[in-house]
Amino acid sequence: MKFLSINTLKPLTITLMTSALLISPFHANKADAASPYTERQHQNQTEQKKQRSALSAKERQLAAVQKQIYALDQQINGLTLQVVENTREIAKNKKEQQRLALKIRKLQAQIAEQEKMLGERLAVRQSSADTAPILEAVFGAKDVGDIISRFNAFNTIAESDASLLKDYEANKQQLAAAKKRLDEARKELVERRATLKQKQGELASEKAKRSAILNRLNVDKQRIETKILGLKEASSLIRAQEAAAKRAAAAAKQSTPSSGSGKILSSAKGKFIRPAEGRISQGMGAASGSNGYSYHNGTDIAGPVNSPIVASASGTVIQASSGGPYGNHVYISHNIGGKTYTTVYAHMNSLTVSSGQQVKQGQQIGTLGSTGNSTGPHLHFEIHDGGYQYSASGRTNEIDPQSFF
């Protein structure tokens, strides 16, 4: 990002009129120098306003959809009660089937016993003594009293046989009724299980529908909130970069080199130098997406924990902070050949610089670590042509760091 150096302005000893004529272009040049940052801040604020409006709309949508959620909750409650009732009826049905099965077994045992007794009585009736019971009662009796006794005994046996036969028929009817009820209970159980399965499916569907609505809206809301936070951070970075550019311009005007309080560890020279020792574990380019991004916008240098990390070029620290996916991280703004560059150092174990500090190329700014979203000790290093920009899915203004090593 280009800006005009204040060093180009010379003391002017001119008349008031001439001064008035020259002051105007001076201010225009100053405005031009600040305009890239001003324009970026304006775009940032416009986007923040747009996202806040989208967030308000999403919150209103969430409030409005609560009515739909309430209706779904009512439906879910009703289906839940139906599922509970069906489950209860199925349990009752099973108990009824058990009771009927026990009753059937008892009736079958009674009927078997009765059939045996009836068979025996039938065999007696078919015997010769029973072929003419009345004659036997009259001619075989000793006297009238014996005749009466024999007739009473005959009637008692007949009544007992009739009662036995009646009980037998009743038991058979009960058995038939119990078998029929058992068959009906079994069919009813099949129907209730089918109904239960249907209601459980409807219940799961309604719950999924409810969750999908809320999840979609909440994800949209969180995405907008995250974007607003990102825009605020970007706004802060723009201000820091502008301040760093002004300090660099002032230092250039005074013809004094940037001061750095840290020890110079690397004597390497170049536009950008390697910020850490170790092997390149991942380069810039397409990524699998397994770590939350499908494009890797920097170079990863794997190395031992607490090994030194140095500034890749001289510049001004615009952010030295911790937290977030980058863990402990440092952003440095550089003015190289009239152009602005930004370098990023992420996942550091410790920092030895602070925001606003000027550093020299090769000066230690921290130590290598594995903080934030990191899978092992390494330095994630980025170079941006201009201010810091980021996209998880594609290239923005990154430059491949390995082209300088």
pLDDT tens, 49-65?
888 888 788 778 777 77
329's CB contacts (< 8 A; 6+ apart) are: 319, 320, 321, 322, 344, 345, 346, 347, 348, 372
- Residue 143 reports pLDDT greater than 90: no
CA 326 to chain centre: 22
Whole-model pTM over 0.85: no
Q: How confident is the model at residue 135 (pLDDT cuts 50, 70, 90)?
A: low
Mean pLDDT score across all residues of the chain: 75
Q: Which residue has the tokens 């059939």?
A: 115
Cβ-count burial of 110 within 10 angstroms (0-12 exposed, 13-18 middle, 19+ buried)?
A: middle
pLDDT for 156 equals 59
- Residue 258 reports pLDDT greater than 50: no
The answer to whether the beta carbons of residues 245 and 334 sit under 8 Å apart is no
The answer to whether the beta carbons of residues 329 and 354 sit under 8 Å apart is no
Q: What are the chain's domains? A: 1-256 (1.10.287), 258-403 (2.70.70.10)
pLDDT for 376 equals 94
Angstrom CA distances, 110 to 86, 107, 167, 293, stand at: 36, 5, 10, 79
**Higher-confidence position of 98 and 170:** 98
| Helix or strand holding residue 384 (H, E) | strand 378-385
Tokens of 310: 């140095």
Q: How confident is the model at residue 30 (pLDDT cuts 50, 70, 90)?
A: very low
pLDDT for 356 equals 86
pLDDT tens, 262-290?
678 877 889 999 999 999 999 998 887 76
**If you ran DSSP here, which 8-state letter would residue 289 be given?**
S
E strands, 225-361, are 279-282, 285-286, 295-296, 299-302, 308-310, 315-321, 328-336, 339-348, 350-351, 358-359
Cα Rg, the chain, nearest whole Å: 48
pLDDT for 221 equals 74
Among the listed residues 262, 287, 399, the one whose alpha carbon sits nearest the alpha carbon of residue 336: 399
The answer to whether the beta carbons of residues 372 and 346 sit under 8 Å apart is yes
- Residue 142 reports pLDDT greater than 80: no
In the three-class reduction of DSSP (H, G, I as helix; E, B as strand; rest coil), residue 214 is classed as helix
**Phi and psi of 104, rounded to 5°?**
-65, -40
**Higher-confidence position of 23 and 50:** 50
Tokens of 140: 């075989």
The answer to whether the beta carbons of residues 58 and 220 sit under 8 Å apart is yes
When mean pLDDT is compared over 42-46, 113-117, 160-164, 305-309, the highest value belongs to 305-309
pLDDT for 198 equals 82
The answer to whether the beta carbons of residues 262 and 359 sit under 8 Å apart is yes
pLDDT above 90 covers what percent of the chain?
A: 22
